[in-house]
């Protein structure tokens, strides 16, 4: 199974708080534009739910990536998330939503992590 390591840049960020309780951390929704480079070339728009407080934080996101992977054109949906808290080991994960691949990326499967403006994904892409 090959491993993809692709950089991305955040091209836009629109954050809205949707839950600001008197006690407890606020929750928000960010709509994020991204541009991928490297073996994955393309763009994405992510929707990210986030909670961030003094004792921990977490996010959950989905994004449709449109572009080319190894020269094969199409799109797929990536779902990813993370959590961390003071004194705890951070947890991060990502996966290609099954059945979301289109065009030459139909059948794409994979798992990995999104961190520090980089996607690392162990993936399988059927021959065409």
- Residue 127 predicted with pLDDT over 90: no
41-54, pLDDT tens digit by residue?
A: 999 999 999 999 88
Q: What is the pLDDT at residue 113? A: 96
Enter the CATH code of domain 3-19+26-124: 2.40.350.10
Query: Tens digits of per-residue pLDDT, 12-31?
Result: 999 999 999 999 899 999 99
Distance CA 21, CA 83 (A): 20
Pairwise CA distance, residues 48 & 118, whole Å: 16
Beta-bridge partners for 63: 46, 78
User: Has residue 116 got a pLDDT over 90?
Assistant: no
């Amino acid at each position: 199974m090959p491993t993809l390591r692709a950089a991305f840049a955040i091209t836009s960020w629109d954050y809205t708080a949707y839950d600001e309780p008197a006690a407890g951390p606020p929750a928000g929704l960010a709509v994020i534009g991204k541009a991928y480079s490297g073996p994955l070339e393309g763009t994405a728009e992510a929707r990210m739910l986030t909670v961030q407080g003094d004792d921990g934080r977490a996010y959950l996101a989905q994004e449709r990536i449109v572009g080319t992977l190894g020269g094969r054109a199409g799109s797929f949906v990536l779902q990813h998330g993370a959590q961390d808290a003071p004194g705890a080991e951070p947890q991060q994960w990502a996966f290609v939503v099954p059945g979301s691949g289109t065009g030459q990326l139909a059948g794409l499967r994979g798992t990995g992590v999104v961190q520090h403006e980089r996607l690392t994904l162990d993936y399988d892409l059927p021959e065409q």
